[in-house]
Structure 1
Amino acid sequence: MSHYQLKDGVAVIVLDNPPVNALALALRLRLADAVHSALNDPEANAVVLTGAGRGFCGGGDITEFDLPALSQAPTLMALFSLIERSPKPVVAALHGNALGGGLELALACHARVAQSKTQVGLPEVHLGLVPGAGGTQRLPRLVGPELALNLVLQGRTCSAQSLSESGLFDRLTDAAPLDSAVQLARELAAEVARGRSLKRAGELTPKLPNAQAFFAYARATAKAQSRGLPAPVACVDCVEYSVTLPFQEGLDREFDTFWRLRGTPEFAGLRHAFLAERKASEVAGLPTEAKPRPVERTVVIGGGTMGSGIAMSLANAGLPVTMIEREQPALDRGLASVRDTYLGALKKGRLSEQQFEQRVALINGALDYEAVKEADLVIEAVFEDLDIKRQVFEQLDAAARPGALLATNTSMLDVNRIAAFTNRPEDVIGLHFFSPAHVMKLLEVVRGERTSPAVLATAMNLARRIGKTAVVSGVCEGFIGNRMLQPYLMQAGLLLDEGALPHQIDRAIEKWGMAMGPFRVSDMAGNDLGAKIREQRLAEQPDLVYSRSFDTIVAIGRSGQKVGRGWYDYVPGQRAPVPSEEVIAAVVAESERLGLKRRAISDEEIVDRLLLALVNEGAKILEEGIAQRASDVDVVYTAGYGFPRWRGGPMFEADQRGLGDVLATMQRFSDGPAYQRCADFWRPAGLLCRLAGQGQSFATFNHSELS
């Protein structure tokens, strides 16, 4: 777990706890022993701490955060104090990542040497926490309170090179940092021998003019932007302690704050979301011998909004892309869209000139399938029509080389049927990107019934390469995300019929935490697109009940944001949508047509009906084996559908609420207007009933138990 060796008078201690050298209890014990050994070794004049493998240290072990091990000796606070108070110089040699507790460990050392590309940061705020081992107290003393607050509050990672002038690092190197760190350790030891004091962060005094006004403004800003989450404001408080309190008192306040936040529901949800994303990359039943195929040359069929976004996702990872369209004007529009997007990023400072030129150069256009012949991966992103996709895949089957991956970006259609259009269904897979594809993190990887393990492994590897959060789904209408979205939208419409209005429904669910309510989402996606999906679903399932208000809105030309009129009016130059009197009149008229007396509907009922519609459909998806695990369903919704990350996801939220209460609430909703067929809609999934009856949760569910 840690290694100790003497190198010309310098004790080199190597952190070794794969994969990220997390500071779990076992590593803390070994590290404390190694530090004591160095301090007691008469031949060791200095100490260097470094990490084995790909990085220095990824921080605390999040899996221990609700276990007694978190507070067992040596705690991080005690260990870092031991290092900081060492009479012998301790130098951190950083490479790869130094995040969270890993950076806090480096801050406790007397000097830091970093490879210039090392990624550093204190991301605890993204878990609903503050740094809990001195980060908010030592960092301001080294780089100043303003920069420290920016790093802590945003929780962002950045390269060591970008902080070269901050005072955080004593030396930067393009090479491996160990030799430079050992040399610096020897120099510091010589200075100590001459009577010079070591630089201990805790002994420095941070200075900030007008500190009271600065922190008051920062606190107000954090409160306004955090939507009620406690961690951002707590981060401001803790950095302020570094300026206003003695070091040890600041440490104590920071730790108390960390411990308090660790018990909040926000931390529980964010921790679940973090661990769920890590778990989602593990594909159940994938043979170990299934190795990813190389992907270097790519083709995207279609240059529309989705196709150009997918092309940029690939180019952003350094992959050359050929974007194919049928006609020159469409291809020109697609390439212009790519260039304009990159140009906007350049103007905002998100890309350098070199990056701009490189990425634009990686994306080329074509009007034929010649590029398909040499491609390792082809992604189809054409109109959502099965006949059109048939034409595309028949051409791909004829043109693509053996072993090339043929992927469809369909959001609703049957991947197995699409695969059957080829003579190589084992090479066909669904890659459902979310729009805008170059921005959204979620990628649903849809495994067809004949998709080969090697193709699935290649898709998951590609997802990591292009920076996507991948979730494996089986084949069904809408896969995981869009299948669950349909009952959610159905309930939103039925709430309109009974007495709610679009802006009330959106406001209620957004106040609860969703990024956007169902009607704002519909306007953004296009209400005409929603109409096509409803038409397809009703053709196959005529018993489904949607509010006719959906079709009324489309019939009167309110297609959404793209035309400035949808469920809302969109005023040029005004960001907020405006409730529409025309829409309100149409909604009220539909209630009258149904013979319903409109009633007052509480925000609580709105949230419950929308949320539990998601939960029940998610339970059916799990029972059918479409999703591998409940946490995968949660990842789809937190990463792709605006579900509040701090609530963990719909299935986690149901567990927190209690499945018995979920069933009881659904039972209440099953008694409603006759035309809605409420008893059918709210009939609970068998899995939900079974888990509730056994006092279990979605978190404990394993699909193999059903077989």
Structure 2
Amino acid sequence: MLVNYEVTESVAVLTMQQAPVNGLGLPLRKALREMLHKAFDDATIKGVVLTGGEKVFSAGADIEEFEAGLDGPNFADPYLGSLVDLVEAAGKPVVAAISGVCLGGGLELVLGCHYRVADSSARFGLPEVNLGILPGAGGTQRLPRLIGVEGALDLIVSGEMVDCERAVSLGLIDRVLVDEAEGTAVKKAVQLALEAASSGHWPRLRDVVIRMQANELSQLIEAKIATLRKPLPAALQCIDAVSWSVTLPFEEALGKEYAALRELMASAESQALRHAFFAERRAGKIQGISREVPVRAVTSVAVIGAGTMGSGIAMCCANAGMPVMLLDTSEEAVQRGLQGLAANYGAAIKRGRLTTEVADRRLRLISGSTDFSRIGSADLVIEAVYEDMAVKESVFRAIDSFAQPDAILASNTSTLDLDAIAGFTSRPQDVVGLHFFSPANLMRLLEVVRGAKTRDEVLASAMQFARKIGKVGVVAGVCDGFIGNRMFEEYLRQAYFLLDEGATPLQVDRALEDWGMAMGPLATMDLAGNDIGLAIRKRRKIEQPDRPYSAIPDLVAEMGRFGQKTGAGWYRYDPVTRKRQADPEIDSLVLEYGARNHIARREISDEEIVARCLFALANEGALILREGIAQRASDIDTVYLNGYGFPAHRGGPMFYADKIGLPNVLARIEGFQAGYMGELWQPASLLTELGETGQSFASV
């Protein structure tokens, strides 16, 4: 039974029971309609309580229905909007009793109710904009009537979730129950329904008239648009739709909202964002490992290396409520790491992201030491030291000596051979890669690297740990750079070769940023450190002496221009704002290099910059897929969306290539073979096969 129906004190209590999150797919919508009519048609029923139970109200629409298109079950009768209308128009009061998440269509259903009761576990939001659409069941019209236009714009355009306390301050709920027994929300909702029934009247949000001057509305809209870094169609449409709650009659606005939803669902941006959503879900599924594989509990962690990365990893664990031991070889390094952690938490308090109480509690979970024997109590030991194999060997031999027998041993290496590192221990089956991205406490991506001897239970445990600390875990195989950095090197190489031929650093970065990348490749290296790139290229020249690179980035690094940390790299940086400025010295260096090496400079279009850099990513991704380094193309997209600033509305490099069409990508790469460094453009065999047969990466 999808909706349980029972009567309490002449009130029908309808409890949604569609596990796990009461997704409002067609079956649940039909069941709700049936039970609502049953309650409305029964003369003995005075009111209705709608609830999702004690753990969750509803996480909203069944997003899988979206993939069936505009003629699919998402728009089938009863459409959610008509169900909300049915609730609102009822001749009996309907009260929502809310526990747990109440998102998207779930919140729109709540807005159709006449009263809202919630307990302190309730969480509210309209996240549709994150899927490239808008709330299409009346949310853009009822929410402004309940909490005001400004509050509605904030919630709908941001797509963010708010807790119960914030919901109360916004006026989203009528009564909040704090620290009361489970089930109390339903009991209070029953009382409220009876009170409303006896009074003979109850409010309907559609009847609320918003009175706002045109200039006031215009100012709110302009202010909201100004906060958007790169306005996408869905965000702009959400703003328009909320404005209709002021300027149009309710029914007319509902019709326009519905039409806008259908138009957005068919858009390229929404398709890409929905792909990103499902890709992230799929990434958690490990091919070849049974769900019955036992998982090791990780309740305490030791992190070796108290630098920026190690401290960030410690912060991730403490934020998840786990005690952490932060170790380094000197007391000075340990104290510097602990002080950095305290500063990070202090900054979060100043920005209003944490209370002092929460920050203090998390800080107390982190302790420091130089005594490596203290890792013996940790369930997981993470190495986060300098990217040098000799240093890794020393650390892992120490870990092997002191870690408890069933501990998971992890390396944060970004490029080195994990199997070689595992070989420094007597238990390579317990070694896994946990490649965090900097800053570790903020970046969502975690590459979980499966070594040749990594046990299934260790890999599954590492993925569970990723979820526990709020990361998006993606399984990768062992190779130089794993998924993300291996592909990024090809992206960078093309960026550098473009400088050889005629582009400037600013042109390369702006072309890719205008296309949607969060940061251009050269600005990214200034942030990461050009000295790091130089060290990698020096190692490459030893290991792969025939692998060609532009020498320009080496010249920049050898000038001591390591990037933001030295105040200058590819750009100069303001010491206070860190704002970048193009530097004539670098532009001259680029010109002189080309002249000295007799490279004919030419005008390069922004389109060519984007195509060369992005198709280099996709081509290397095809090699990674064929080699089994990545489980699926969508995993590669998840890596780039969460770790490399790839724009979500483009779906990821592999999805983007699929949308361009692999035959077209293949033809462009073959065209690049006739140009500068054309011998490097060797189409991956998988790309060639798929391109010639008209298939996609998604089909692999």
Common fold: TM-score over 0.5? yes
- Identify which of 481, 485, 497 aligns with 1:478: 481
| Equivalent in the alignment of 1:62 | 63
**Does 2:410 align with 1:407?**
yes
Q: Distance in 1 between the 2:224 and 2:360 partners?
A: 37
Look up the equivalent residue of 2:3 and give its one-letter code.
S
* Shift, 1:572, TM fit: 2.3
Query: 1:312 and 1:339, CA in 2 relative to 1: closer, same or farther beyond 3 A?
Result: same
% identical aligned pairs = 48
Deviation at 1:265, TM superposition (A): 1.1
The separation in 1 between residues aligned to 2:379 and 2:341, in whole angstroms, is 22
Structure-2 residue corresponding to 1:36: 37
Matching residue within 250, 255, 258 for 1:252: 255
Tell me the residue number matched to 1:289.
292
CA distance in 2, matches of 1:426, 1:157: 40
CA positional deviation for 1:41: 2.4
User: CA offsets, 1:170-195, max 9 Å, x none?
Assistant: 2212346644334433443354344x
Structure 1 residue matching 2:33: 3-state secondary structure: helix
CA contact (8 A) 1:297 1:377 kept: yes
Q: Which residue of 2 aligns with 1:18?
A: 19
SS in structure 2 opposite 1:358? Answer: helix
**Paired residue for 1:184?**
189
Aligned residues: 695
1:687 aligns with: 686
SS at match of 2:57: coil
8 Å Cα contact 2:118/2:185 also seen in 1: no
- Aligned partner (choices 214, 219, 222) of residue 222 of structure 2: 219
CA contact under 8 A between 2:59 and 2:102: conserved in structure 1? yes
Task: Please state how far the C-alpha of 1:165 moved relative to its aligned partner.
Answer: 3.3
Q: In 2 relative to 1, CA 303–514 (structure 1 residues): closer, same or farther, beyond 3 Å? A: same
Distance 1:616 1:641 in 2: 17
CA displacement at 1:226 relative to structure 2: 4.2
Q: Deviations over 1:242-277 (max 9, x none)?
A: 122222122112212212211211111111111111
Shift, 1:661, TM fit? 0.1
Q: Distance in 2 between matches of 1:239 and 1:566?
A: 45
Following superposition, the deviation at residue 515 of structure 1 comes to 0.6
Q: Determine which of 655, 660, 667 is the counterpart of 2:663.
A: 660
Kept in 2: contact 1:117–1:161 (CA 8 A): no
Map 1:589-600 to 2 at 5 A: 589-600=592-603
Distance in 1 (CA, whole Å) between partners of 2:293 and 2:111 is 42
Distance 1:549 1:283 in 2: 41
Contact 2:123 2:163 in 1 (8 A): yes
State the superposition RMSD in angstroms.
1.5
How far apart are 1:79 and its partner, in Å? Answer: 0.6
**Residue 161 of structure 1, CA deviation:** 2.1
**Separation in 2, partners of 1:341, 1:186:** 47
Q: Distance in 1 between matches of 2:164 and 2:625?
A: 43
Q: Distance in 2 between matches of 1:47 and 1:370?
A: 62
- Post-superposition Cα deviations, 1:34-54, rounded to whole Å, max 9, x if no partner, equal 111111223322211111573
CA distance in 2, matches of 1:214, 1:177: 42
1:78 maps to 2:82? yes
Question: Superposed, which structure 2 residues align to 1:401-440 within 5 Å?
Answer: 401-440=404-443
- Note the 1:291-440 alignment, pairs <5 A: 291-440=294-443
Q: CA deviation at 1:428?
A: 0.7
**2:532 equivalent in structure 1:** 529
Question: How big is each residue's C-alpha offset from its partner over 1:166-218, in whole Å with a ceiling of 9 and x where there is no partner?
Answer: 32212212346644334433443354344x2111111122344x453333442
Match of 1:704 in 2: none
Question: Deviations for 1:340-359, whole angstroms, at most 9, x for unmatched residues?
Answer: 11111111211111012111
- 3-state DSSP class of the match of 2:493? helix
Q: 2:605 aligns with which of 602, 605, 611?
A: 602
Residue 65 of structure 1 aligns to a residue whose secondary structure is: helix
**C-alpha deviations, 1:656-707, integer Å up to 9, x for none?**
000000000000001123xx2x23x211111111112222111111xxxxxx
Are 2:60 and 2:104, in contact at CA under 8 Å, matched by a contact in 1?
yes
2:121 is matched with which residue: 111, 117, 121? 117
Cα distance in 2 for residues equivalent to 1:224 and 1:361 = 36
Contact in 2 for aligned 1:113/1:177 (Cα 8 Å): no
Partner letter of residue 395 of structure 1? A
In the alignment, residue 165 of structure 2 is paired with which amino acid?
Q
State whether structure 2 residue 144 is matched by structure 1 residue 140.
yes
1:106 and 2:110 equivalent?
yes
Tell whether the 8 Å contact from 2:153 to 2:239 is kept in structure 1 after alignment: yes
2:157 aligned residue (153, 156, 166): 153
Give distance in 2, aligned partners of 1:163 and 1:94.
Answer: 12
Give the match for residue 130 of structure 1: 134
Any idea what the Cα deviations from partners look like across 1:272-308, whole Å, max 9, x if unmatched?
1111111111111112221221111211000000000
Which stretch shifts more, 7-16 or 278-287?
A: 7-16
| Partner SS, residue 481 of structure 2 | coil
Q: Which runs of 5+ in 2 are unaligned?
A: none
SS at match of 1:445: strand
